[in-house]
Structure 1
Amino acid sequence: MTRLLLITERFAPDLGGLARSATRLVGTLSQLGIKIDVVTWSRFLQPGEVLPPETGEANTRVYRIGLYRHWDMTMPYTLNVLDWLHSSHAYDAVWGHYLFPSGFLATWFAALNGLASTVSARGNDIDREMFPPGDFARLQWTLQHAKAITAVSADMSRKIQLLSGREDVLVLKNVVDTEIFSPHNPQARRGGISKETLGIASDEVVLGFCGELREKKGQQFLLNALTTVRQVRPACLLIIGEVRTSQDSVLQLYKTHQPENAQRIIITGHLPNPEAVAEYLRLCDVYLQPSLWEGMPNALLEAMACGCCCIASDAGGIPEVIIHGKNGFVLPRSHLHKLGEAVLECLTMTIEEKNQIVQAARDRILTEYSLTQEKLQLQTLIDLLIPNSV
């Protein structure tokens, strides 16, 4: 049986799209009959501490390593752990999930041991690492020496080709469990989430955002949109997730200047499972993704699958999934200050027009961003990475 080592900075139950995508990929790879050891780091362990392996999906073990204060200690120590694991389990290939630090470490470790390596570019890892204080030389070395490279969007694939000179980048799309993320939940639990339980009035428009809210996700534009919409009609902003601690000052400043509007911001906090996330998404009248830069946001795909009417920026791969006016609406990043006006315009649609938009969004996810599509793509990648794998 093929044995794969996957290195990722975050893994469930960690927060964010990176952890969700890594966890989902491991589950799908396991279904393909591949044994997987996951190595991930944790700030909640003592530096250098290695927990006993967790067993999750069939054929899967998860090793968590305590982070040192700086990467110049964490990475050499992690290499020691990888050497120990490889001597015990003899891996066939190494996967780095995100280009740095996971992708670089996976590519370097694989080169040292004569193994095949693959790295997956997920979000802003290209845009962030190519500019200071990112390490351009390390980024380029990783892209040039990995045996296989995947990207979540054609936009990111094009950037990788420009940086590395390679033309063999495989687009491996983010995908959605369309049974969990759907417009209607036939197994909805009694006493579940509703507008009433959240203190949302029946006439309030629910503006939704899902994930860890921070600057790159357009935090200020979301707050400005809430202000604009509430000048015309009752509305609230539902943040399905958390506000990054370092960005909390922006929210506090908004509360100082807009105290009444700030009272209509509802923050769920971290949710334990995707079923809970889907429940909240179904409450949204308009879902907003005003990102400044992106790969292909999981949350936007999940919102589309849930039948939300979505307004998003044109960052990264977003225009590859949203066709403006057909299955959602795209606002140029240069016009994000008009997000509130776009919401108000969206709210003037008839029921028939809105239904056409959200059905087209759902159909797009079903045809191009489903778990079935991901399984086919992953099998292609594994065949390339490890020929004659069993």
Structure 2
Amino acid sequence: MHIALILSQPPGYSETFFKSKIKGLQDAGHQVSLFVYKDDPRFTDCKVLPMPKVHANPIRQFFATLGVIFGLLPYLKRVIRYVKLELKAGRELKQVFKYIYINATILKSDAEWLHFGFATLALQSEHVAKSIDAKMAVSLRGFDIAIYPLKHSGCYDRLWQLVDKVHTISDDLLLCAYNQGLSRNNAVAKITPAISMELFNTGAANKNFKTKPIKILTVGRLFWKKGVIDMLEALSILKKEKIDFEYQIIGEGEQKEEILFAIYQLGLENEVSLLGVKTPREVKELMEISHIYMQYSHSEGFCNAVLEAQAMGLLCIVSDAEGLSENIIDGETGWVVPKRQPRLLAKTLESVIELDDVIKNQFSERAKARVKQEFTLEQQQAKFVEFYN
């Protein structure tokens, strides 16, 4: 079976979700192609086909359009079918020609499945699968289901009518899709993120929670939805309570300046460090010396970093945003705190820090065992093979 995945760009070195999926499908005997809007020659896990670029220079765009037109001539029947479907759906002819250009590479594909890795990527491409006699799948993730539709009401109405199968990474995101019009009769499969147990696997039987200061860690892009400011406000309360801690944040992003100012304004310059981007191995090394992991996001599809932290034996405190409350079992493998309540987060942090080391290790061991049992790459690969079969 030929399965085509559509992403904005090839998976990066740390994006194990897509890379393990591709490997699992290939190992099962399937052909996998990757269609991208931005190519990266370093990615060699499967065949990569760049989508046509839109050029600002009108002369370059003219010649690029001519090239696309000539390239589509052997596929004229598909193009005509696509035009008819688009016009029947009420799109203007000018829009249709634009979408033919954007989707030209896929229109030439012999794939039996088109799987859009994010729901937003399927917009403007809803009729391509039917035009090439393929089935269409789409994945539900945090931003495209929980946030994007807030600004673009009804954006997925056409997609829901045409999609053959939906992949969700959490029950909460699926509920969001139902609330946005997805029929409960649609075929759906839940396949959560997974991690490499070979890399994120602590050799220590028990984590040492006695060392001071308490080391707290967060991994994530410096972006508003990650709730970093709320975490800083909670930590400022801990500082007033004379609790000795160090807080490190791994990641970069557009909110960096605001976060740096908040650190200064809250008087946390000596306690908080922004470490920038780190490799998976460097993340593991920092997790090995940390005690608590925080992910107090406003919105979060699931979060691989929380799985990695649990596998490394950290005590995990997360918000109740989307998939996080499935990632952690509250009161058993970690703690789930309602979002946007820094004082409640501070209270939870303080109570966790004050726990007896025996109880801390019980939480740590339960979390490690659950991740090892339910969130391995091998399980994820098998579920994706089943998804297409």
TM-score by length of 2: 0.79
In 1, are the aligned partners of 2:5 and 2:34 still within 8 Å (CA)? yes
Query: 2:113 pairs with 90, 93, 112, which one?
Result: 93
In the superposition, relative to structure 1, how do residues 52 and 356 fare at CA in structure 2: closer, same or farther (>3 Å)? closer
Query: Which whole-Å CA distance do the structure 1 matches of 2:125 and 2:25 have between them?
Result: 17
Quote the offset at 1:294 in angstroms: 1.8
CA contact (8 A) 2:301 2:323 kept: yes
1:181 aligns with 2:200: yes
Change (3 A) 1:241 1:265: same
| Cα offsets for 1:195-225 (capped at 9, x unmatched) | xxxxxxx622111101212211111112112
Q: CA deviation at 1:359?
A: 0.9
d(CA) in 1 for partners of 2:251, 2:329? 26
- 1:36–1:61 CA contact under 8 A, matched in 2: no
Q: Contact between 1:211 and 1:241, CA under 8 Å: does it hold in 2?
A: yes
1:140 Cα offset (Å): 2.2
Aligned-residue offset at 1:307? 1.1
Greater Cα radius of gyration, structure 1 or 2: 2
- Over residues 70-117 of structure 1, what are the superposed CA-to-partner deviations in whole Å (9 max), with x where a residue is unaligned? xxx999778536434653x522211101110x1335533213322111
RMSD, aligned α-carbons: 2.9
Whole-angstrom CA distance in 2 between matches of 1:23 and 1:75: 33
- Structure 1's 38 and 305: CA in aligned 2 closer, same or farther, altered over 3 A? same
Q: Deviation per CA, 1:248-295: give whole Å up to 9, x if none.
A: 232232244234x124322222223x2222222222211001111221
Q: How does 1:51-130 map to 2 (within 5 A)?
A: 56-57=44-45, 59-61=46-48, 63=50, 80=101, 82-84=103-105, 87=108, 89-100=109-120, 102-105=121-124, 107-130=126-149
Are 2:250 and 1:240 aligned?
A: yes
**Superposition deviation, residue 357 in structure 1:** 0.3
CA contact (8 A) 2:52 2:104 kept: no
Residue of structure 1 equivalent to 2:276: 269
| Structure 2 counterpart of 1:38 | 34
Whether the aligned pair in 1 keeps the contact of 2:115 and 2:137 (CA below 8 Å) is yes
Q: Distance in 1 between matches of 2:123 and 2:163?
A: 9
TM-superposed CA distance for 1:346, in Å, is: 0.5
> What is the aligned-residue identity percentage?
20
The answer as to whether partners of 1:143 and 1:149 remain within 8 angstroms in 2 is no
Alpha-carbon contact 2:222-2:256 (below 8 Å) kept: no
Which aligned pairs between 1:10-25 and structure 2 lie closer than 5 A? Answer: 10-13=9-12, 19-25=15-21
- The answer for unaligned runs of 5 or more in structure 1 is 43-50, 187-201, 384-390
Other-structure match for 2:2:
3
* Cα gap change, 1:137 to 1:270, in 2 (>3 Å): same
Aligned equivalents of 2:349, 2:380: Cα separation in 1:
32
Residue 6 of structure 1 aligns to a residue in which SS? strand
Corresponding residue number in structure 1 for 2:291? 285
Q: Is the 8 A contact 2:110 2:132 kept in 1?
A: no
Whole-Å separation in 2 of the counterparts to 1:208 and 1:13: 22
- Structure 2 residue 300 is matched with structure 1 residue 294: yes
Kept in 1: contact 2:195–2:376 (CA 8 A): yes
Matched residues in 1 for 2:24 and 2:214: separation?
37
Q: Secondary structure at the match of 2:154?
A: helix
AA at the equivalent of 2:5: L
Q: Which runs of 5+ in 2 are unaligned?
A: 57-93, 206-210
Q: CA deviation at 1:376?
A: 2.2
Of 116-125 and 319-328, deviating more is 319-328
Q: Distance in 1 between matches of 2:383 and 2:251?
A: 29
Moved more, 32-41 or 290-299: 32-41
List per-residue Cα deviations over 1:216-248 (Å, max 9, x = no partner).
111111211222223322212111222x12x12
Moved over 4 A (4+): 51-55, 64-69, 73-79
Aligned residue runs from structure 1 range 152-167, under 5 A? 152-162=169-179, 163-167=181-185
What is the CA distance between 1:126 and its match in structure 2? 1.4
Q: Distance in 2 between matches of 1:228 and 1:177?
A: 36
Matched-pair contact (CA < 8 Å) for 1:143–1:164 = yes
Is the Cα contact below 8 Å between 1:161 and 1:169 reproduced in 2?
A: no
Match of 2:324 in 1: 318
Q: Do the aligned partners of residues 78 and 279 (structure 1) sit closer, same or farther apart at CA in structure 2, a change above 3 Å counting?
A: farther
- 2:368 corresponding residue in structure 1: 362
1:225 matched to 2:234? The reply is yes
1:55, distance to aligned residue in structure 2 (A): 5.3
Aligned to 2:71: none
Partner secondary structure for residue 30 of structure 1? helix
SS of residue matched to 1:267? strand
CA distance in 1, matches of 2:226, 2:302: 12
* CA displacement 1:101-136 (0-9 Å, x = unmatched): x133553321332211100001131122322x22x3
- Which residue number in structure 2 is paired with residue 140 of structure 1? 157
1:21 Cα deviation from its structure 2 partner: 2.8
Indicate conservation of the 8 Å contact 2:5/2:115, yes or no: yes
Is the CA contact 1:7–1:106 (under 8 Å) kept in the aligned structure 2? no
Partners in 2 of 1:144 and 1:305 — Cα distance? 39
- 1:62, CA displacement in angstroms? 5.8
- Shifted more, 296-305 versus 20-29: the winner is 20-29
Of stretches 137-146 and 23-32 in structure 1, the one that deviates more from structure 2 is: 23-32
User: 1:341 aligns to what?
Assistant: 347
**Aligned residue pairs: how many?**
344
For 2:281 and 2:291, the matched residues in 1 are separated by 19
For residues 285 and 74 of structure 1, do their structure 2 counterparts lie closer, same or farther at Cα, with a shift above 3 Å needed?
Answer: farther
Matched AA of 1:353: I
